[in-house]
Amino acid sequence: MPTLNSNIGDVGRGFAAFLSPPPEGVVRFSVGQPDFRTPGPVVEAAKAALDAGEHGYTRSQGSEEICNAVAKHLTKYSIDVDANDVVISPGCKQSLLYAMMSCLNPGDEVILFAPAWPSYDGMLKLIGAVPVHVPVNRKNYHPDIAVTKAAITPQTKAILINSPNNPTGAVYLPSEIEALTKLAVENDLWIFDDMIYSDLVYSEHSYVSPVTFDGGLERTLTIGGWSKIWAMTGWRLGWIAGPTEVMEAVKTCQASSASHIPTFLMGAGAKALELVEEPRSFYESFAERREVFHSLLEEIPGVNAPKPEGAFYFLADITSTGMNDIEFATKALEEANVQVIPGSLMPGGEGLIRLSYSVNLDQIREGCKRLKNWLQG
């Protein structure tokens, strides 16, 4: 039998082992997927496009309509891009992969803030790049600028920023984003800015893009998508925007692989970006869940969960329970009927568990009740 790509053996499957659908009756704090239905106007736009016969090939980077809609949406964050420097991809994850394929060579190092979403690590390894996991401050999960600076080597090619963050819930301060941008400028690095949770911020400081700081515009690839605040995870729609030269490389990646997203979804994606009430309603629901979840977690013995500033995750320290995170997650499922993500699936996440509040309040209350009763014996 012929041999496989030598990179595959080093690539994990992220949270997959703890994301399998559990038996009926299990409370799932594991899945990072909103429990809302996609807004009706978006669904109707997709149906209308199908009925209108929008079934064929089209412009690879996405229709002018949807690229213009993304460019307009990004101005909300003081990100000014030409619509021709926007590519619509089959999901935010695919946009990240295009960024890496366009900017990195085998052996190049990329700074990740640990613990980081494990797909970053996997994608980098797939293309032969080297993830460098830089630990964040365990008290608030924010980056340590001095530690980050010390991790940069002659092989470092990029810094990947995800704020609001999965799995930590941290929203980096404007001063931190400015400092990271300065490091990128001083060392001539790319910045991959994963802004997928940018509309889910509960702290006093909002999401800030590196492009708003000196030297950030010419080195930042802005990556996002429709999955979270528009409840469109299964639609697989993402965007990537950046400097013209690198976006031409991204267009090559798309044309040589996915071709384009489904034609009939382009108008629906543009429609989603026009909505106001539905995303606001989703945000308000997440904000309420965050408050309720945090108050209940504080009552659970051995679980220490800082209040997240954004996204929809708690990253809780469970070392005081006397269990490691794999043991905790396994027993929580088997004995308490609650599914969580063990942190050691991510470098730097040992002793932590991720809990998602993308479930309704009844599920949050029931799941916390089960965990409390289980740990109290």
The model's pTM is 0.96
The pLDDT of residue 13: 86
* pLDDT score of 246: 98
Q: Which domains does the chain have, with CATH numbers?
A: 8-38+277-376 (3.90.1150.10), 41-274 (3.40.640.10)
Cβ-proximal residues to 336 (8 Å cutoff; 6+ apart), any chain: 370, 371, 373, 374
Contact between 307 and 290 under an 8 Å Cβ cutoff? The reply is: yes
Residue 15 confidence (pLDDT) = 85
- Three-state secondary-structure class, residue 268: helix
pLDDT at res. 266: 98
Phi, psi angle pair for 206, to nearest 5°: -95, 175
DSSP single-letter state for residue 39? P
Say how many CA atoms lie within 13 Å of 116 toward its Cβ.
25
CB-based contact 236:207 (threshold 8 Å): no
Regions of the chain short of the pLDDT cut 50: none
